[in-house]
Structure 1
Amino acid sequence: MAVVPVRRLALLGGGFSTDDDGLLDDWVLGHARASRPKVCFVPTASGDAPAYVERFLTVFQSHNCEPSVLPLFRRELDDDALRTFLLSQDVVYVGGGNTANLLAVWRAHGVDRLLREACDRGTLLCGISAGANCWAEGSHTDSFGPLTFLSDGLGLLSGSVCPHYDSEPGRRSSYRAAVASGALPAGWALEDGVGALFTANALTETVTRTPQAHLYQVEPDEDSGVKERAVPGRLLTEAPGDH
């Protein structure tokens, strides 16, 4: 009897674009379905920023994987080739930037549907900042300038997501207010340095680069308006000789 893949998503509070130790990226690759995975970077949220793409390729070419990039602002693949390419990937790694713009561009090119299909076939979807926001039903974002809520997303992960929970002024209070008011559903807030793996929509692993960084489950509360619970995470450590 064939094994049906389950959806797997990883939310990242760091990675190659912000960290030099490679711990979160190694953790992601360790959850790929192949020993030498195909890893596609999708830089849509940054407008396919060349420096971001170059950084990804430079870092991931030193890992045991096959890195590639999917540009959409200067698209090179037709619809059939695009589908074949995305469905062949073991990991799709989405970069940060503007969440609202990312969603609009993906929908214009049909990438939202293809990523859902890839996920259903066993591809691990992951990303940082906007690349974490996009998978949920809604998110906390600065896509429109000031911090606010975005009641939009791919809905592959139930609830909402808030990145940079500890590092950007106003993030924590603004996200808590959105959840308390019902503007966003209950969800997950990531401090920088955290990784969270969801399997079949359930949190199955939490890791952190530093003991101080946490993942929080944030929910509305009748008495206090909102409550948050820190989720224990396994501390990632660098193996001798790595990086």
Structure 2
Amino acid sequence: MKMFLSSSFADVIDLFSEFIHENPRGKVVTFIPTASTTEAITHYVDSAIAAFNDLGITIEMLDLSKCATSEIEEKLSKNDYIYVSGGNTFYLLQELRKTGSDKLIIDQIKKGKLYIGESAGSIIMAPDIEYVAFMDDKTKASDLTRFTGLNLIRQYPIPHSGNKYFNEAVKKIIECHESKLDLLPFTDDQALLISNDDLIVR
């Protein structure tokens, strides 16, 4: 299992290059922007696209809410990397479940494919995502009835620690949940590097 979880992917490209231990030029990433499609502000998607272009990585877009299961399965299995963008974590989980992409992504990760998460795409790996309700609007996922995440890590990531737009939400999450959950706040300049069962904050 190999995962690179970030708050802001464009801000940690150097860490990403060190982590993958290979020249990514010519690789293909399945780029899943689904979490961003409910949001008014989506500049981070453009920043991630530019970052992948700078690394010489070819992008194949895959909006889960608009694609057939066969296309989702094909792209996830054939491309080299999987990237899941920031946005609304609850909407992302809803669409992952609706399409069965949650199971497909877990399967690819367990086979050794590199997963790259940004913000919502990082949070989704927690055992449960309800703890981020201070940061993301649950009502944007009206069909979501349970909040179990992909559960590939035991920690609960809190992206954007110290970010002026998100820090109040980060503080509320910590205040409300620190006694019950293994919270892991990290900044826009940090990433969670996961290899098998080892998790390092860089």
Contact 2:3-2:195 at 8 Å conserved across structures: yes
- Aligned pairs for 1:114-125 (under 5 A) are 114-125=104-115
Alignment partner of 2:128 out of 119, 123, 138: 138
TM-score, with length taken from structure 1: 0.66
Task: Give 1 or 2: higher helix fraction.
Answer: 2
**2:2 is aligned with 1:46:** no
Alignment partner of 2:5 out of 2, 6, 11: 11
Q: Which has the larger radius of gyration?
A: 1
2:17 corresponding residue in structure 1: 26
Alignment partner of 1:159 out of 155, 164, 167: 155
Amino acid at match of 1:196: L
**2:95 is aligned with 1:102:** no
CA RMSD in angstroms, aligned pairs only: 2.8
- In structure 1, the gaps of 5 or more residues are 1-6, 208-243
Moved more, 80-89 or 190-199: 80-89
CA distance in 1, matches of 2:80, 2:23: 6
Alignment partner of 1:176 out of 170, 174, 184: 174
CA distance in 2, matches of 1:132, 1:32: 22
Contact 1:95-1:129 at 8 Å conserved across structures: yes
2:193 corresponding residue in structure 1: 197
SS in 1 for 2:90: helix
| CA shift for structure 1 position 35 | 6.6
CA distance in 1, matches of 2:159, 2:44: 19
Q: Given the superposition, is the C-alpha separation of residues 9 and 101 from structure 1 closer, same or farther in structure 2, using an over 3 Å criterion?
A: same
CA distance in 1, matches of 2:97, 2:53: 29
TM-score, with length taken from structure 2: 0.78
Amino acid at match of 2:197: N
Aligned positions, number: 188
Alignment partner of 1:67 out of 52, 59, 67: 59
Contact 1:40-1:93 at 8 Å conserved across structures: yes
SS in 2 for 1:198: strand
2:103 corresponding residue in structure 1: 113
Contact 1:13-1:195 at 8 Å conserved across structures: yes
- In structure 2, the gaps of 5 or more residues are 139-145
Q: Given the superposition, is the C-alpha separation of residues 174 and 121 from structure 1 closer, same or farther in structure 2, using an over 3 Å criterion?
A: same
SS in 1 for 2:117: strand
Between 1 and 2, higher relative CO (CA 8 Å, sep ≥ 6) is seen in 2
Contact 1:158-1:201 at 8 Å conserved across structures: no
Amino acid at match of 2:168: G
| CA shift for structure 1 position 188 | 1.5
Cα deviations across residues 16-60 of structure 1 (Å, max 9, x unaligned)? Answer: 3xx4x84245345x3569774321211111118886655544442
CA distance in 2, matches of 1:64, 1:189: 30
Amino acid at match of 1:70: L
- Aligned pairs for 1:211-226 (under 5 A) are none
Q: Given the superposition, is the C-alpha separation of residues 31 and 133 from structure 1 closer, same or farther in structure 2, using an over 3 Å criterion?
A: farther
